[in-house]
Amino acid sequence: MAVEQLSRLDGPRLALLDWVMPELDGPGVCREVRKLREKQERPYVFMVLLTSKESKEDIVTGLESGSDDYLTKPFNVEELKARLRTGERILHLEDRLVEAREQMRFKATHDALTSIWNRSVIMDLLGRELSRSRREANCTVVLLGDVDHFKSINDTHGHPVGDEVLREIASRLLSCIRSYDFVGRYGGEEFLLILNNCKPQFADARAEEIRKAVSSPIQTTSGSLQVTMSFGLLLSEDWGVLPVEELLHEVDAALYSAKAAGRDCVRLAKPDLSGRNISVAVRETANRAR
Sheet bearing 266-268, strands edge to edge = 182-187, 190-195, 141-147, 229-235, 266-268
Cα–Cα distance measured from residue 184 to residue 191, given in angstroms and rounded to the nearest whole number: 6
Cα–Cα distance measured from residue 39 to residue 32, given in angstroms and rounded to the nearest whole number: 11
Distance of CA 240 to the CA centre of its chain: 28
Cα–Cα distance measured from residue 276 to residue 290, given in angstroms and rounded to the nearest whole number: 23
Cα–Cα distance measured from residue 266 to residue 230, given in angstroms and rounded to the nearest whole number: 6
Cα–Cα distance measured from residue 116 to residue 145, given in angstroms and rounded to the nearest whole number: 15
Q: Which residues are catalytic?
A: 189
Cα–Cα distance measured from residue 274 to residue 212, given in angstroms and rounded to the nearest whole number: 34
Please give the angle made by the CA atoms of 237, 195 and 137, to the nearest 5 degrees. 35
Neighbours of 39 (CB within 10 A): 9
Cα–Cα distance measured from residue 27 to residue 94, given in angstroms and rounded to the nearest whole number: 23
Cα–Cα distance measured from residue 93 to residue 102, given in angstroms and rounded to the nearest whole number: 14
